[in-house]
Structure formats: C-alpha cells, structure tokens
C-alpha cells in the first residue's frame, strides 16, 4: 500500500513538472511573438498561427500587416531561439550527467568554441561542399566541436590519469580561450570582411528566418533522439562505469553516443546563432535541483525550459534598449555568470 502511494506521488509530481515546463514554454513563445515595436494580443497570435500552420479557418478580421509580422519576422525568430536554447540545455544536461558534475556544459568544455572556429572557418573561406550544400556550415561546426571535445578529454587525461572532472573543465576553459584567440586573429587578418561576424559570435537569432530553422532542425532531431534513447544509460553511468558494466551497459558505445549527440546539438546551435554561453550550465542545474536527477525526465524537461529561457532572453535582448538590440549572449552571460559562481562555491563547500 505504501509503495502504491509513493508511486502515485512520484507520478503526480512528474505530471506537474511536465505541465509547468510546457506552460512556461508556451507563455515564453507567446510573449516573444507579442512584444515588440507593435504589440500583438495573444488572441490575434493564436488566430494567425491556427490559420497559417494548421489550416484552421478563423472567422476573424486580422490585419495582413500583423500576419506578416508574426509569420515572417517574429515567429521564425522565436522558433530558432527555442531550438537553440533547447539544444544547449539538452547538451549541457548530457555533459553534466556524463561527467557527474554540474559545472560541465558545452561552453566550459570548449565544445562551443570549437564549433565556432569551424563555423568562422567556413564563412572565412566561403566553403560549400556540393553534397552538403547549405548544411556545410553546421556540418563543419559539429565536426570541429566534436574534435575539440576529444582533444579536451585527451589532454585532460595526459594531465591527470584519473581524468577528474575538475581537470576536464579546466582543460576545456583553456581550449576555449585558445580557440577564441584564433577566431579573433582570423577576424583581425581579414580586415572588414568578417567584422560583422563579431556580433554573430556574441550570439544572436536576429534576421535568421526560416532557412536557418530548416538548416538546424535535422541535427536537433538527431541529437534529441540519440540522447533521449540513452537517458537510462546516463542514469547508470552516474553510479560509475563499473556499476554500469555490471548491469549490462555497453559503456564505450554509450559514451560515444552521448558525446556525439551532445556535439550534434551544440554544433548545430552555434552554426545558426553563434556562441551563447551558460544556457547549458544554468538550465540543467536548476531543473535538476527542482525535479531531481533522473535523466529520463531531466532531459525532456531541460529541452522545454531551455527553449523557453532563451526565447525570453532574446525578448529582453531586443527590447531592453530598443530600437538597439543587444546580443543574446550578453543577456545569458549576465544571468549565467553569477549562477556559475554560486554553483562553484557550493561545490567547493561540499568538498571542504
């Protein structure tokens, strides 16, 4: 009887968690579309989206200008911010589970910087692989991000045979600084040609449109599926590799799959929006504190909360000093850096 009551309590808590996350995401999307130089009521947004996305005829007079603003300007921007935020939060949750440390994320591990180098390299040389076409940019970004992660793990192992998490993160930060200097050097050597990329590197989803959504979407879906299918294995790895082996987990294969899925998400996000820090650090950590460490639920909840969080950050970035826009990476850094410091202090106190 007690077990039945406990299971019912946990089931209800999970239902509340998903409901809260979904409502937060929907509210963030509506606010992102509604607020701007022209305010659009929620009801009008719902009318426009229902008719244009689902073909549901709405017998209401809607200004064609508002339809254009919603479908061609704000809605694509919000969807792209949602995909980027979801990708970074999901990748961060996977890295934190894999390394068993809340300080791990694509930014601190150097994956974002590696992906940014790949993207800038493609833009710098104007590379376009015939078979890939418009997917050349995210492909190079993903490959460079994954290679960077492998280098970080390799050098961390050279520095410390036991491969402690602190060593991995320190190595990742060193690599991030080094790769950032390479990007700065490339921009400096090219004169005016790549100066507009500085804004992109600070992180932005402005003026991207539907093309960038379609470029990112296949990689997002692939990374999402890979990590969700490995959520149980992430739970097992949290108890150590030996324990995971004893319960039948193919540790080496699963580790590669988890790293690949997280790199897919990070590389695709960086390719379309530039480097946006701290989303993958803050969102999974807060989600874990509130709803627990079970990756079967932590991963999908991080997707929804991360997407909504970045939509709201983008909203702040484009409205706080309107008509001038701030890079979205500035807003996430202002929020994420203090949280990073608090997590670090908490970690230090735990081990002292």
pLDDT of residue 218: 93
Given a cut of 50, is residue 7 above it in pLDDT? Answer: no
**Number of Cβ within a 10 Å radius of residue 25:** 21
Distance of CA 113 to the CA centre of its chain: 14
Distances 92 to 102, 185, 221 between C-alpha atoms, Å: 9, 28, 16
DSSP string for 173-238: HHHHHHHHHHHHHHHHHTTTTTTTHHHHHT---TT-HHHHHHHHHHHHHHHHHHHHTTHHHHHHHT
| Residue 255 or 305, more confident | 305
**DSSP 8-class letter at 293:** S
User: Across residues 261-269, what is the average pLDDT?
Assistant: 92
> What are the boundaries of each domain within the chain?
79-350
Q: Which two tokens stand for residue 352?
A: 């002292």
CB 259 within 8 A of CB 146: yes
Q: How much of the chain exceeds pLDDT 70, in percent?
A: 89
For the segment 290-330, what is each residue's pLDDT rounded down to a tens digit?
A: 888 889 999 999 999 999 999 999 999 998 887 888 888 88
Residue count (the chain): 352
CB 204 within 8 A of CB 64: no
Place of tokens 């702040």: 316
Out of 117-126, 182-191, 296-305, 317-326, least confident range: 182-191
Look at 163 and 286; give whichever has higher pLDDT: 286
Closest CA to 109 of 224, 281, 250, 271: 281
Of the listed ranges 11-20, 115-124, 157-166, the one predicted with least confidence: 157-166
**Cα–Cα distance measured from residue 210 to residue 284, given in angstroms and rounded to the nearest whole number:** 28
Q: Can you list the alpha helix ranges (DSSP code H) found in 126-196?
A: 136-159, 165-189
Query: What integer pLDDT is reported at residue 220 of this predicted model?
Result: 95
In angstroms, rounded to a whole number, what is the distance separating the alpha carbons of residues 238 and 219? 26
Domain spanning 79-350: which superfamily? ABC transporter involved in vitamin B12 uptake, BtuC (1.10.3470.10)
- CA distance linking residue 166 with residue 189, whole number of Å: 35
Percent of the chain with pLDDT over 90: 26
pLDDT value, residue 312: 95
Query: Who contacts 272 (Cβ-Cβ below 8 Å, separation ≥6)?
Result: 80, 84, 138, 205, 208, 212, 215, 216
Give Cβ neighbours of residue 143 (< 8 Å, ≥ 6 apart). 118, 267
Q: How confident is the model at residue 252 (pLDDT cuts 50, 70, 90)?
A: confident
Residue pointed to by tokens 């992906």: 115
Look up the pTM and report it: 0.89
What is the average pLDDT value for the chain, to the nearest integer?
83
| The CA-based dihedral angle spanning residues 221, 175, 231, 13, taken in that order and rounded to the nearest 10 degrees | -100
């Amino acid at each position: 009887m007690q077990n039945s009551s406990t299971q019912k309590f946990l089931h209800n808590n999970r239902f509340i968690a998903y409901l809260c996350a979904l409502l937060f995401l929907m509210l963030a999307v509506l606010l992102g579309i509604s607020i701007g130089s022209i305010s659009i009521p929620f009801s009008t947004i719902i009318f426009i989206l229902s008719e244009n996305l689902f073909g549901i005829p709405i017998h209401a007079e809607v200004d064609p200008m508002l339809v254009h603003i919603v479908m061609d300007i704000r809605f694509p921007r919000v969807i792209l911010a949602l995909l980027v935020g979801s990708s970074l939060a999901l990748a961060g949750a996977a890295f934190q589970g894999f390394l068993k440390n809340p300080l791990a994320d694509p930014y601190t591990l150097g994956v974002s910087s590696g992906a940014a180098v790949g993207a800038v390299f493609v833009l710098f040389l104007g590379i376009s692989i015939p078979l890939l076409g418009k997917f050349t940019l995210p492909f190079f970004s993903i490959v460079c991000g994954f290679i960077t992660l492998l280098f970080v793990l390799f050098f961390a192992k050279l520095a410390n045979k036991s491969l402690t998490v602190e060593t991995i993160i320190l190595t990742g930060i060193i690599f991030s600084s080094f790769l950032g200097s390479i990007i700065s050097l490339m921009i400096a050597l090219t004169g005016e040609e790549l100066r507009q990329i500085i804004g992109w590197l600070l992180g932005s989803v402005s003026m991207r449109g539907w093309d960038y959504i379609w470029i990112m979407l296949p990689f997002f879906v692939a990374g999402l599926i890979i990590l969700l299918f490995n959520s149980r294995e992430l739970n097992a790895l949290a108890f150590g590799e030996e324990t995971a082996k004893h319960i039948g987990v193919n540790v080496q294969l699963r580790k590669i799959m988890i790293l690949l899925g997280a790199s897919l998400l990070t590389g695709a996000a960086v390719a379309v929006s530039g480097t946006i820090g701290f989303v993958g650090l803050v969102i999974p950590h807060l989600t874990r504190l509130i709803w627990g460490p079970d990756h079967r639920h932590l991963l999908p909840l991080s997707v929804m909360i991360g997407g909504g969080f970045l939509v709201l950050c983008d909203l702040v970035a484009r409205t706080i000093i309107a008509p001038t826009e701030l890079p979205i990476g500035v807003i996430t850094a202002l929020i994420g850096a203090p949280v990073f410091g608090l997590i670090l202090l908490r970690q230090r106190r735990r081990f002292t």
